[in-house]
A and B are shown apart, each in its own frame.
Chain A
Amino acid sequence: MIQFTDVYKRYPNRYEALSGLSFHLNKGEMAFLTGHSGAGKSTLLKLIALIERSSHGQVLVNKQNLTHLPKGKIPYYRRQIGLVFQDHNLLHDRTVFDNVALPLVIAGENHREIGRRVRASLDKVGLLGKERNLPIALSGGEQQRVGIARAVVNRPAILLADEPTGNLDPDLSRDIMQLFEQFNKVGTTVFIATHDHDLIRTLPYRQIQLHQGRLAQREVE
């Protein structure tokens, strides 16, 4: 599903954030991306979401070669991927419903379908009663659930999350992780960057560890 082959990423300031990276993630797999702060986790996810482009090497996602994807196709490519961020990236002047509906509105879905899917998505993250609220009226954990509901509302094949529990206490973090597991169980490929080792230690998923932009020797199965 996601395949990196000898990928390098050098930022315009010549800083090499990723060096000679190769790995493969299977369809329907759930995996963690770990490593110290500055190891290159966010950079790696940005390459998959085409927020950044690799300087060298090949990135294949869902059979598409991202190296040659023209700029005009990026929006349509991104609709196959759900993105979850540490700081949620919600629109604060729109209701929970409108935030979750955004990907569907952008994709041009009709009114009835949007309502149905947004409610289904909010139901899955346990926020069905809060659809008329503004994001500020919600707790940090709830805001993150809205972010997740938005990421899965158009049923993407891949779900990427960058430190989704970074701002949450351990209990809430575990709840969020369980949510991701649920989406994985129905077939979504899930890839989560985190440095919260305590949280994922007991979970039975592969860990891809980065160290200074390279794959660390140890890969935990």
Chain B
Amino acid sequence: MSLSTIMTNYFLRHVQVMLFSLGQLWRQPVASLMTVTVIGIALALPAGLFVLQQNMTTVSEQWDDSNQITLFLKTTVSQVEGKQFSLDLKKWPNIAQVQFQSAQQSLSEFRQLSGLGDLLDSLPNNPLPAVIIIYPAEDIVSPDAIGSLLARLEAMPQVDQAQLDMEWLQRLRSINKTIHRGISILAILLSLSVLLIIGNTIRLAILSRQSEIKVMKLVGATDRFVRRPFLYTGFWYGLLGGILAWITLMITLGVISGPIDELIGHYGSNFDLQWFSVNMLTSLPSIGVVLGAAGAWLAVSRHIHMIEPN
């Protein structure tokens, strides 16, 4: 027999065992479908959350460049003093640009925007403070650098309050980081349960075929031969579960992408939600296959060698 014939035989045998294992699943459609569904959900859940979280990250990154600081000056600071103060600040190396707005300007701007002119006229004096808007230098981008600039400005005697305009963005970002960590943990836990679900399913399959395994060993089957169909069963569970997860995810994202695009549109951003899902297409079934094979391996390595004819 030539080497190529041997290789062909070997390959054919594997294909046969693969199809045999698939046939075994097909023979118990309800039980198999239930297992595949559980695996699909367990994979789809963290994957879907990752997609949403990815989108959140992208959105928050698009708003990255708008980190200006607003200083509210104390009312005891006169207009001249305030103007001078803003010119002093402009000399700081970590400040690129300043923009002074007197209390009077603040008031007229407010009057314009709010349309509450009559009400303001009835007030005895101007309740609004003078404001300096600070644009930090280009290299001041990290949250730490901005934070320390903010603290220094707030400590100045003329300043009543210093506010990072995009403080909420920072908060969003740290929430985002927390969510990411939470999803990662969830993903690990759910992967572990997929591993155990498949391992346990294969274990039950092995136990239900105990007498068959004994007969096979009596007519000369090696452990490796007995193992093979069970490993392929794990492979199929993982693959089918992964594909189901992907389908579930595509449908879900299809349903929610409209409203999400609309939401994001309100904030002046737009991008294609589907793009991430295309990446999932390849990764979900492969993750499923890896988990399925590993779970099956766990079961066969523990049980097959213990089943001996007696």
A105 to B26, CA, bound (A): 22
Q: What is the distance, in angstroms, from B159's C-beta to the closest C-beta of chain A?
A: 81
**Contact A106 to B309, CB < 8 A, known contacts A89-B215, A91-B212:** no
**Measuring CB to CB, which residues of chain A are less than 8 angstroms from any residue of chain B?**
49, 51, 72, 75-76, 78-79, 83, 89-91, 102-103, 106-108, 110-111, 150
**What residues on B are CB-neighbors of A102 within 8 Å?**
215-216, 219
**Contact A83 to B13, CB < 8 A, known contacts A51-B310, A91-B212, A106-B225:** no
Q: Residue among B9, B221, B310 with the most chain A CB within 10 A?
A: B221
A-facing residues in B159-215 (Cβ within 8 Å):
211-212, 214-215
B217 close to chain A: CB less than 8 A: yes
**Measuring CB to CB, which residues of chain B are less than 8 angstroms from any residue of chain A?**
5, 9-10, 12-13, 211-212, 214-222, 225, 308-310
**What residues on A are CB-neighbors of B9 within 8 Å?**
108, 110
**What residues on B are CB-neighbors of A90 within 8 Å?**
215
The answer to whether A83 and B310 touch across the interface, beta carbons within 8 angstroms, is: no
CB-contact partner of A106 in B212, B216, B308, B310, under 8 A: B216
The answer to whether A83 and B225 touch across the interface, beta carbons within 8 angstroms, is: no
**What residues on B are CB-neighbors of A111 within 8 Å?**
12
Q: What is the distance, in angstroms, from B22's C-beta to the closest C-beta of chain A?
A: 16
User: Which label, helix, strand, loop or mixed, suits the secondary structure of the B interface?
Assistant: helix
Q: Residue among A90, A102, A111 with the most chain B CB within 10 A?
A: A102
A103 to B217, CA, bound (A): 10
**Contact A108 to B13, CB < 8 A, known contacts A51-B309, A51-B310, A91-B215:** yes
Chain A, residue nearest B310 (CB): A51
The answer to whether B215 and A75 touch across the interface, beta carbons within 8 angstroms, is: no
A12 to B308, CA, bound (A): 16
**What residues on A are CB-neighbors of B212 within 8 Å?**
91
Chain A, residue nearest B224 (CB): A75
A175 to B264, CA, bound (A): 85
The answer to whether A106 and B215 touch across the interface, beta carbons within 8 angstroms, is: no
Closest 7 A/B residue pairs (Cβ):
A79-B220, A78-B220, A103-B219, A75-B222, A106-B221, A75-B220, A89-B215
**Contact A150 to B310, CB < 8 A, known contacts A91-B212, A108-B13, A110-B9:** no
Q: What is the distance, in angstroms, from B18's C-beta to the closest C-beta of chain A?
A: 15
A91 to B219, CA, bound (A): 12
A sample of 28 cross-chain residue pairs with beta-carbon separation below 8 angstroms, ordered by A number, consists of A49-B218, A51-B218, A51-B308, A51-B310, A72-B222, A75-B217, A75-B220, A75-B222, A75-B225, A76-B222, A78-B218, A79-B219, A83-B218, A83-B219, A89-B214, A90-B215, A91-B212, A91-B215, A103-B219, A103-B220, A106-B216, A106-B219, A106-B220, A106-B222, A106-B225, A107-B220, A108-B9, A108-B10
